Structure 1
């Protein structure tokens, strides 16, 4: 084998020599090379150069964006929606900020107990490279072994500054996966205690879930954070003034919505800070000579899809794309030192681009008629319907104003193209409203199969409205839960080439460890 390799190398050297001699005969004015036209020396120089190109410094600045519940359907529906809006409903797409990243991979998402993961076990895989049981954060399925996250490793071993951001609760499963170790994702108070002791530099987004514990008699998690050296900021004006020298910080969104999370993008006011603003501020306070790691989660994509609200999902996917733009602006200044990853923990809702009622057609421009999220409609309208037993004709008017859906009589009087209920759809809506008034939301075990398939655990009226708008636009959901779809991994920057291909979600951690050279 050795003789054969030497023979092949000799033949290659002869070929190179012949090429150089011929080139020299045809161009006698060329300057001699640094190796004096020695083919062997040139080959050695070429090999050395190639090795130097392969060996790159670890990425100094790492951004990991996680769209909770976001797989290809959520991304593509947002892209097509934007394209339809900008082109008057025509078949055009508009790419999100990360869709043109040079490297795209696919990650499997199953965990130790199911082909369909939950967020806790999924983030454990991404953050620590270990599979575990559903509902568990950074521990094995026996709850006896704790796993160290990539964020913890980078902090302890390399002195990187660490930022954890989310549009949902800061002690929710996905953000917790980078600093907490719990046998249950529902241990919100204990997770909050670990946050306070983490030593991480920057937390931002939604507030704590159960800040006083499930018994509501423990010391506030906000007080614990302050006792552990965190500056707790609860207004945008304070957040704007924040500087790196202010030290460890927890920013809670000034305007909180359902379950003390940030507003859905569709409900947020124009001057209200979005995920992109918290990313921008994070870059300002984390930037340093040693490096930083930032995880930013678009958590409400998942919440919207659990409730089958495609429009809210689309707007929050766009919000995540806008946040990625801030990282891209930083990358353009530090292209050789920055790595940006955009991925997800799982897909939620079984979203499909296509519906039985529209066959091969879509009418995505219809979706712009929806003005508020399902959650805001529940809070501001449905709660009052229940209290006042509002007549159905008034409910229909509110549905027309907030979702653009109307009866044929209203459509006849309208001056613009309308989305009209069929008689079948109107009957579905009436039945849903009657159930909202008589039962409201219910647990799956308290419902018949038909009731669950129609309403899930959502408010019957609201989910029926979003189903009808989705379906009439050419979108549909087949679940109120997570699905087993693989998720994309988009990558750009230092080490991005490592993230192409089809692999397990645990490999995201393993690739980050290899690139950063931590133990």
Structure 2
């Protein structure tokens, strides 16, 4: 009896030991300095719902989703809802700072970043982004400034500190005399003098063979993937491949940060088209990193955002328990493209001092409107009628009867006569000539401009679905003098058709999924803080950015295995 009990107990004990040993071997097993190369990919603004929407659109999981390890907290030093500068500072340096600050702590310390530590240990370094390369997230890895807005100053800290620099933002490196933003210095020429190969076009990528590259592919930011000039501007994946091929020449290894910058901007615009297509472009960049890691077992790939943007939800109240993301598959451009096309195709006219506002509708003298629209107006004093021709459309106004006829058919219209002048509601004129009218306002809310355009004709070929009359009314109800306001409203309309809803046009405060593959990937299991990220990376690369790294890693392991 005793021997049987002992035998069963021994088996249970051995099984428990084996399970514990396997856990320890999975978590916290990598040696310090075992990761020769690290590729950190940051999908700026990406939350869980971004992944879900992209997966639904694609029809299968994203390539890196199988490598999910844990979650990362995002709070900054002064708020639970971080911006990219503070989030990036924590991810690059291991220290919290206030929103808007580039790698300077609240008490004024300028800590080195994980990129700095890699460079000082003899590794090559790189930064890739689809924004200006001096934007907040890439900047925190190599520069320091109390304000993320000081990009002219931030740009001066790149040359000779980063080996491969790829993205937008040529204006931040060129002098004002050449259309740039630098008051005096020409950072492009300084880079070339320091041995950097300078490229500005996708066609030049194949000609690069040096160890240092400055690639600036637009004067300012690059465009969303769906709007990208694919002939002249490289994709994020192509820039990532160039960076990896160049940096991997160093026998001591490299550190590379790749940012899908405009995933975040799509969130701010509540634009599901740009969001999903930029997510797919980011996935292609991750695939480049994963392919390299599979061929080089001493490489670590980490994918994690810096915060979520927009509070995106798959589903909305009108749709109930439904989504309609497939409606986005026929889109040919982002909401930026829609907004730009509406503004460029619209005929603009001034709304002068003669305007009358009645119940928020804008009325103007008919003759004034016709003149501004380059039309013709003939007044018949005998029967008091007015014949009007505008943009191949014609109608007749009978002033005594207060009626309008189009091809002998009476048509409902809104106008009144005051002191012998016919004041027409501009919406009525727009309808008579087959257009819609939207208004632009100044800072005081005064209407200054009328925009005449066929909204459906412009918008539908880009978004890939039919607009409702409610959609058109919604798009023409906002201030067209502010392009961002118009673009944001397009995002709202497009999201409505996809049955997607949003909680914000800003960042949100929740934790983010973290994915890792390769050497040391299991060190990221569980919930970590964003300041933990560079500490783990430093330990795995052996670059000694922090003191007591072994104790820190032991504490992480202990926390995971309790």
More divergent stretch after superposition (266-275 vs 57-66): 266-275
Cα 1:215–1:331 change in 2 (3 A) is: closer
* Equivalent residues in 2 for 1:230-269, closer than 5 Å: 230-243=196-209, 246-253=210-217, 256=218, 260-269=220-229
Q: Decide which structure has the larger Cα Rg and report it.
A: 2
| Rounded Cα–Cα distance in structure 1 between residues aligned with 2:29 and 2:510 | 36
Alpha-carbon deviation of 1:72? 1.0
| Greater per-residue helix proportion | 1
| Rounded Cα–Cα distance in structure 1 between residues aligned with 2:166 and 2:181 | 25
Matched, 1:217 2:186: no
Matched, 1:205 2:167: yes
Alpha-carbon deviation of 1:15? 6.3
Alpha-carbon deviation of 1:57? 5.0
Match of 2:255 in 1: 293
Deviation per residue, 1:387-429 (Å, 9 max, x gap) = 47894262221111111343xxxxxxxxxxxxx51x5444323
Aligned residue among 180, 186, 192 for 2:149 = 186
Contact 1:188 1:210 in 2 (8 A): yes
- Show structure 1 runs of 5+ residues with no match: 1-10, 20-45, 84-93, 407-419, 442-457
Contact 1:188 1:209 in 2 (8 A): no
Contact 1:171 1:209 in 2 (8 A): no
Secondary structure (helix, strand or coil) at the match of 1:168 reads strand
| Rounded Cα–Cα distance in structure 2 between residues aligned with 1:67 and 1:326 | 15
Q: Scaled by the length of structure 1, what TM-score is found? A: 0.76
* Equivalent residues in 2 for 1:340-489, closer than 5 Å: 340-385=301-346, 387=348, 391-392=435-436, 394-406=454-466, 420-421=467-468, 423-432=469-478, 435-436=479-480, 439-441=481-483, 458-460=484-486, 462-489=487-514
Q: Scaled by the length of structure 2, what TM-score is found? A: 0.70
Contact 1:171 1:208 in 2 (8 A): no
Alpha-carbon deviation of 1:262? 1.8
Give structure 1 regions of 4+ aligned residues with deviation exceeding 4 angstroms: 49-54, 213-216, 269-272, 386-390
Match of 1:141 in 2: 106
Deviation per residue, 1:118-146 (Å, 9 max, x gap) = 1111010000100001111111113x311
| Rounded Cα–Cα distance in structure 2 between residues aligned with 1:68 and 1:295 | 12
Deviation per residue, 1:63-88 (Å, 9 max, x gap) = 100011111111221111111xxxxx
| Rounded Cα–Cα distance in structure 2 between residues aligned with 1:139 and 1:151 | 15
Match of 1:226 in 2: 192
More divergent stretch after superposition (144-153 vs 52-61): 52-61
Deviation per residue, 1:334-391 (Å, 9 max, x gap) = 12x0100001111111111111110101111111232111223333442442647894
- Show structure 2 runs of 5+ residues with no match: 1-5, 15-21, 350-372, 374-429, 437-452, 545-562
Alpha-carbon deviation of 1:221? 3.0
Alpha-carbon deviation of 1:53? 6.5
Aligned residue among 139, 154, 157 for 2:118 = 154
Alpha-carbon deviation of 1:230? 2.3
| Rounded Cα–Cα distance in structure 2 between residues aligned with 1:361 and 1:498 | 38
Match of 1:115 in 2: 80
Cα 1:502–1:386 change in 2 (3 A) is: farther
| Rounded Cα–Cα distance in structure 1 between residues aligned with 2:347 and 2:510 | 38
Contact 1:367 1:470 in 2 (8 A): no
Alpha-carbon deviation of 1:282? 1.2
| Rounded Cα–Cα distance in structure 2 between residues aligned with 1:126 and 1:278 | 22
Contact 2:33 2:542 in 1 (8 A): no
Aligned residue among 27, 31, 36 for 1:60 = 36
| Rounded Cα–Cα distance in structure 1 between residues aligned with 2:85 and 2:33 | 32
Cα 1:124–1:50 change in 2 (3 A) is: closer
Secondary structure (helix, strand or coil) at the match of 2:515 reads strand
Cα 1:398–1:76 change in 2 (3 A) is: same
Match of 1:446 in 2: none
Deviation per residue, 1:462-484 (Å, 9 max, x gap) = 32232122122121122111111
| Rounded Cα–Cα distance in structure 2 between residues aligned with 1:305 and 1:368 | 18
| Rounded Cα–Cα distance in structure 2 between residues aligned with 1:370 and 1:121 | 34
Alpha-carbon deviation of 1:51? 13
Match of 1:321 in 2: 283
Contact 1:378 1:459 in 2 (8 A): no
Contact 1:405 1:469 in 2 (8 A): no
| Rounded Cα–Cα distance in structure 1 between residues aligned with 2:213 and 2:81 | 35
Alpha-carbon deviation of 1:269? 4.5
Cα 1:380–1:291 change in 2 (3 A) is: same
| Rounded Cα–Cα distance in structure 1 between residues aligned with 2:230 and 2:143 | 34
| Rounded Cα–Cα distance in structure 2 between residues aligned with 1:129 and 1:369 | 43
Match of 1:43 in 2: none
Secondary structure (helix, strand or coil) at the match of 2:303 reads strand
Work out the number of aligned pairs and report it: 422
| Greater per-residue strand proportion | 2
Contact 1:351 1:475 in 2 (8 A): yes
